[in-house]
Amino acid sequence: MSLNPPAPQDGLVSFVDKLTIETPEQTSLDFAVAGIGSRFIALAIDMLIQTAIGLVIGIGGAFAVVALEKIWPGAAMWGFALLGLFFFFLYFGYFALFEIIWNGQTPGKRRAKIRVIKASGRPLTPAECIGRNLMRIVDWMPSLYAVGIVSALLTKENKRLGDLVVGSLVVRETAFTDIRPTWHPAQDPAFSNLPPLGAVQLSAADCALIESFLSRRSDLEPNVRSSMADGILRRLKPKLTLPVENTLSTEKLLEAIIHERRTTGRYT
C-alpha cells in the first residue's frame, strides 16, 4: 500500500495498514496495525474466559449467599452487592489488569498475536490502560460493542473510543517482535558546516558499530549510553580528523561521521 506520510508530529510519521514511527534518535519502527478480525477473535477468547470465571464465582457465590442468609438475616443484600461489584471488576478490570502486567496483552490478545501500544510506539501506562478499558462502557452501547465497531470502521487505524481517548492502537504481535530499527542520518544543518571528519577512512565494521549504537541508544541507561558513545569515538579517533574546536556532543559527532560517510556514496 502506497502512502505519502504527513510531516512528523510528536514522533509520529504515518498510519493506516502500517504504522511507522520516527523516534527522536532518528530510528524508524514499523508496526502492522491489527485488523478488526483479529481483535474480534481476541475479544471472543477473553469473553469466554470471563464467562467461565463468572459462572464459577457467580454460582458458587450465590449458593454461599443463600446459605449465609439462613445464619445472618440481611446477608443476601450485601452478598449480592459484592457479587455485582465483582462482575464489574471482572468485566472491566480483567482487560486493564492483564494489559498492565502483560505489557498491552490479554490472554485473548496473546492468542491472537496482537498488542496494545501508544501511538508513539511505547507501552501504555497503568492509568492509560485503566482509562482505555473504562471506555468499554460506551463502546458496548447499545449492545454487543456496536459503538466500538462503528468507531473501528470509521478510523483508519481501527480504533475504538478507548483508543481514541488515550492515544493507543492495537498492532500485530508478529510485527512487534520482528521489529528491526533502522537509523536514518539526521539532516542537521550543523553537519554541512563541519570540516571533513575523515569518515572515508572507516571500515564497514567501524560504520556498522556506529550504526548499531545509534539504532539502539534509546534503550540504554543514560550513563551506559554516554560511556558507549565516548568509547566508540575513542576507538575510532585515530582514523578520523576531528576538529580541534568541536561544539557537538559525542552522539552528534557520531551522527555527523555516519552522515559524511553516507554522502560519499561509499557506504549504505
CA angle 122, 225, 213 (to 5 degrees): 80
Query: What is the arithmetic mean of pLDDT over 169-176?
Result: 73
pLDDT value, residue 5? 40
Q: Looking at the predicted structure, is the pLDDT value of residue 102 above 50?
A: yes
Residues in the chain: 268
Are residues 173 and 211 located together in one domain of the fold? no
Are residues 161 and 204 located together in one domain of the fold? no
Are residues 218 and 240 located together in one domain of the fold? yes
Which of the listed residues 177, 205, 236 is the one where a domain comes to its end? 177
**Which phi-psi region, left, alpha or beta, contains residue 107 (left: φ > 0; alpha: ψ -120 to 50)?**
alpha
Give domain status of residue 6, yes or no: no
Which of the listed residues 177, 195, 220 is the one where a domain comes to its end? 177
Give domain status of residue 10, yes or no: no
Q: Which domain covers residue 160, as residue numbers?
A: 36-177
Looking at per-residue pLDDT, the higher value among 35 and 75 belongs to 35
Q: 223-260 burial, b for 16+ CB within 10 Å, e for fewer?
A: eebeebbeebbeebeeebebeeeeebebbbbbbbbbbb
pLDDT value, residue 16? 44
pLDDT value, residue 200? 85
Q: How confident is the model at residue 14 (pLDDT cuts 50, 70, 90)?
A: very low
Are residues 92 and 133 located together in one domain of the fold? yes
Give domain status of residue 31, yes or no: no
Looking at per-residue pLDDT, the higher value among 25 and 56 belongs to 56
Number of domains in the chain: 2
pLDDT digits (tens, 9 = 90+) for 105-139: 999 999 999 999 888 777 899 999 999 999 998 98
Looking at per-residue pLDDT, the higher value among 189 and 68 belongs to 68
Give domain status of residue 14, yes or no: no
Are residues 124 and 43 located together in one domain of the fold? yes
Location of C-alpha cell 470509521: 154
Query: What is the arithmetic mean of pLDDT over 142-156?
Result: 83
Give domain status of residue 8, yes or no: no
Give domain status of residue 227, yes or no: yes
The span from the CA of 249 to the CA of 45, in Å, is 51
Are residues 231 and 259 located together in one domain of the fold? yes
Enter the C-alpha cell of residue 248. 557537538
Cis before 126? omega within 30: no
Q: What is the pTM of this model?
A: 0.59
Instruction: Tell me the residue type at 226.
Output: S
Are residues 55 and 133 located together in one domain of the fold? yes
Give domain status of residue 220, yes or no: yes
pLDDT value, residue 51? 94
Are residues 48 and 168 located together in one domain of the fold? yes
Give percent of the chain with pLDDT exceeding 90: 25
Are residues 69 and 138 located together in one domain of the fold? yes
Are residues 72 and 169 located together in one domain of the fold? yes
pLDDT value, residue 237? 87
- What is the DSSP secondary structure assignment for residue 9, as one 8-state letter? B
Give domain status of residue 248, yes or no: yes
Which of the listed residues 124, 158, 177 is the one where a domain comes to its end? 177
Are residues 91 and 61 located together in one domain of the fold? yes
Are residues 90 and 164 located together in one domain of the fold? yes
Say if CB 59 and CB 86 are below 8 A apart: no
Enter the C-alpha cell of residue 71. 445464619
Say if CB 242 and CB 178 are below 8 A apart: no
